[in-house]
Amino acid sequence: MKQKLIIVMLAAATTTCTFGCNDIKTDKTTDPSVGSGLVARPSPTGYTVLRKSDRAFTYLVNQGGTITVYDTTAGRPVISTQVPPQTLIRVDPKLGVFTGSAQVIKGPLPEKNTRELRLKN
């Protein structure tokens, strides 16, 4: 009886390690020491979605480049502009869109619409 129990436990451990351990991939998409822990990945569409929300939000763009605020509900861009590194982007349905302290689009924006902040790849 003891031998059968040992054999069953070894089989379970081998199966778990075979199917569980081999599929583990080191993926650096989460790092608890950095902000929310999420790292944006480049998209085959030509842009990377940095943030998506139906409410007011801010986002610090670490690298400079062309950013677009895209209204996914309406299916069209709100604004597209060039920003330097370390620029704070603020999207507020009541006040508009800001890059740093400059207002680039005056509000109000449609309140119930969902917007994406995109960075061109």
* Residue pLDDT, tens place only, 21-40: 444 444 444 444 444 445 55
Q: What pLDDT score was predicted for residue 78?
A: 94
Where exactly are the structural domains of the chain? 47-120
Token pair in block for residue 117: 């902040």
- Residues in the chain with pLDDT values less than 70: 1-44
Strand duo 102-106 + 57-61: pairing: unpaired
What's the CA gap between 7 and 82, in Å, rounded? 64
Q: What pLDDT score was predicted for residue 111?
A: 82
Q: What pLDDT score was predicted for residue 30?
A: 42
The topology (CATH level 3) of 47-120 is Immunoglobulin-like (2.60.40)
Q: What pLDDT score was predicted for residue 21?
A: 46
